[in-house]
Structure 1
């Protein structure tokens, strides 16, 4: 069941245009095991038979080789024990924002709308490390303890959520907030105070 839900989510993300080519990876936690997409797969074509099973310590249990970024997923689960799903994407707007040099008070996505505030909370910017590296996993683990939504500098996004369906929703919300950030860059746009945006 979890494998099918993961596949359905991957297909939805691809259909939304958030996972170009063979980029991106996703996982769900099932007890002490992680179901994760394989290396080199396109989220729009991944099937149940392609899903990899790992122990929570990274031991390979079943399936093909996992995505090269499996350690980043495990790091996120360690930092957020209540997370049931992790999604990493290279969507256009979020990746573009991750490449910008300036951040708003440590948060790369300004507080323009109440929904951005409520849905995403603090968005952490994780410094650049090579994809699949231990350094990137360490950076994610440190950031994920305080944020369920992250931008990986010059790379993309990472979302942690209680379920894979919630993760898909947050990916879409993050991309929308990133598109708004790019559209308003250089303009004198009104920003909200997170403490009072919802009254």
Structure 2
């Protein structure tokens, strides 16, 4: 954490470069500058794309029974308080999807948060299955609607989990960046969070690494 509060990680997702100014060549102007000469770097002209307008941070929180071990769910809630505070300070939208037991429910947003409420986590969790696939499908639907509503908005998908879930959901198409926060605390690590982040072209961080970011 910094003195001014949490800062978003840079991320290294596959879609990180989408929307950046100057990434696409504008061939008519380039060919006009080239004329009859061989193409050189100084002939290149690029499309001036509009910058991204704000961001949406969609948080998917694992509230299953395994997250109660070693107070991992309490730690995840503490990180969410900081993340929601950062979103509020930056005037970014946020959404919260919680999954545990047999349900995956939208608990907040998408909207600019005014703070944090404990009631968003109740009565989610308490053992049973870990409906990770339905949670990601719910997030994909939310991000798809956001892409239609505000196409210039940057869309982040945050997954806070210990990876102790079955199923391999598809990466949501409309997530520009993916960050998986790994809360695994077992003595024999499964490294599923790291595998998921790699499969989705995202970034995997432990809570300690996230907190230590300048």
Q: Normalising by structure 1, what TM-score?
A: 0.29
Pick the structure with greater CA Rg.
2
Q: Normalising by structure 2, what TM-score?
A: 0.27
